[in-house]
Structure 1
């Protein structure tokens, strides 16, 4: 069984996307909704650590409120895929590896377009995952929580977890999850870079380059210079997708 954990701040979006698609699922699941409309939680890591420990499922899905699972057999199909992966630490719907391109079956934005350059039919090992939807086995989450000190906001918590769980000897995979994500995921902010700086410092000994769906970041090069370069590449890629 899955436990599905979602922090939401817009009930209308939650109902129109995640809950609507969950209602059509053909298998049982546990739903843990975290109402953050009053900004009780200051970070995703804090919210997920507090509420995720209540989960009873074999796998915990952490997802955004504006995700549509697309198929009524999504959970059934996903469980079969996850059960086939040995040494699983964390799996997600989108991620990146040293090939430097996003691997994902997600469609995003309006009108919907593929989020990744590479679509897959079987699980693919990657370095890091995107935050929109990812899955952690409950026994893994019980041992390794999210890092609330590094990820003290709403960005990069799946990236940090991916790197940390790999350093703990477990693998990170993108799975062929064909979902729809309303947001195009193109938000850079001061908070993003603040967390990124701490993340790069934390993992510097093990990763010279951290590959994320928002850019590739060199832990040994000044972040102030990288910001300009990576943002230019990211938005140019988004612009090209529109045409």
Structure 2
């Protein structure tokens, strides 16, 4: 028994996913689809509203531009939560390391492929790449505990949602909600990637300036808790990768016309983290000055 929650902006996509769910889920379910075409509310507000209206103990927040390929996937979801009593959220793509450097779930500027766990068929809407099965399972697990998940498909317990809801006061667009939700739920529950459920996603993420602004909000909120290292990356590697990640971020922010103060505050805010040593802090301040006055 699963309550499926969809923030909808495309009636054709919604019709397709409804039929696909009916054909594949294999258990009793309800769909709460919120038509967001006119009001264009933030996804956090939509998800919170729909979750409060739901009647089942398992919630599944999913994008409408996906296709479920696994048969009887509903029973698989229920089995995961029954067998893992501390499970709070389950998805199909996540990372066992979440960087202090502002990023999405996969920490794209951190060179740690061993931290990536995903099983998804990816299509590309904004580029000319070919459809591909993206798969990474470093420890050959059926279920891998991670820090954060991609929001394309998130299942959680009602108790986990009641413990930590989507932060609609902080995030009023369509980005960062998955990262914040997993970090919040993860304060009490475990977050997992399952390799037993395959979905297809018909568009990739759009990591534009709007996305980055939302990600910066999430990191301002959680920097004292970051990084989270479930994979056991060595301190030396973390220091090198985080420094490189911050430098790349500052260069990007300069290119995208963020103000000097906005760039500075990213560094100042990260000072809350236990890994931000005074030495690293000074190095990043010097690099910030270099970017501001010399460009990149």
Task: Please give the range of the TM-score, normalised by the shorter of the 2 chains.
Answer: 0.7 to 0.9
Cα pair distance change 1:224/1:121, threshold 3 Å: same
**How far is the alpha carbon of 1:72 from its aligned partner?**
3.2
Match of 1:203 in 2: 222
TM-score (norm 1): 0.81
Q: Which has the higher Rg, Structure 1 or Structure 2?
A: 2
Instruction: Give the 3 Å change call, closer, same or farther, for CA 50–161 of structure 1 in structure 2.
Output: same
- 2: CA distance, partners of 1:137 / 1:92: 12
The aligned counterpart of 2:190 is 171
1:22 is matched with which residue? 21
Cross-structure match for 1:238: none
Q: Which residue of 2 aligns with 1:12?
A: 12
1:150 to 2:175 alignment: no
Partner of 1:233: none
Please say if residues 147 and 228 of structure 2, whose CA atoms lie closer than 8 Å, have aligned partners that are also in contact: no
Alignment of 1:1-243 (within 5 A): 1-16=1-16, 18-24=17-23, 25-38=25-38, 40-98=39-97, 99-100=112-113, 101-109=115-123, 111-118=130-137, 121-167=141-187, 169-176=188-195, 177-183=197-203, 185-208=204-227, 221=246, 223-225=249-251
How far apart, in 1, do the equivalents of 2:146 and 2:212 lie?
22
Q: Secondary structure at the match of 1:205?
A: helix
Superposed displacement of residue 210, structure 1 = 9.2
Write the distance in 2 (CA, Å) between the matches of 1:227 and 1:208. 21
Check 1:64–1:226 CA distance in 2 against 1; reply closer, same or farther (3 A cut): same
Paired residues of 1:41 and 1:47 also in contact (CA < 8 A)? no
SS at match of 1:104: strand
State how far apart, in whole Å, the 1-side matches of 2:136 and 2:86 are. 26
Q: CA 1:210–1:151 in structure 2 vs 1: closer, same or farther (change >3 Å)?
A: farther
Which sections of structure 2, spanning at least 5 residues, go unmatched?
98-111, 125-129, 231-240, 256-296
Cα 1:64–1:210 shift into 2, 3 Å: farther
1:150 match: secondary structure: coil
Per the TM alignment, residue 22 of structure 1 is displaced from its structure 2 partner at its CA by 1.0
- Spell out, residue by residue over 1:4-23, the C-alpha distance to the aligned partner (whole angstroms, 9 max, x if none): 0001111112222x112112
Greater shift in the superposed pair: 185-194 or 197-206 = 185-194
TM-score, normalised via structure 2 length: 0.67
User: Greater share of helix residues, 1 or 2?
Assistant: 2
Question: 2:136 aligns to what SS in structure 1?
Answer: coil
Q: CA deviation at 1:228?
A: 8.6
* Number of corresponding residues: 220
Contact 2:119/2:136, CA 8 A, preserved across alignment: no
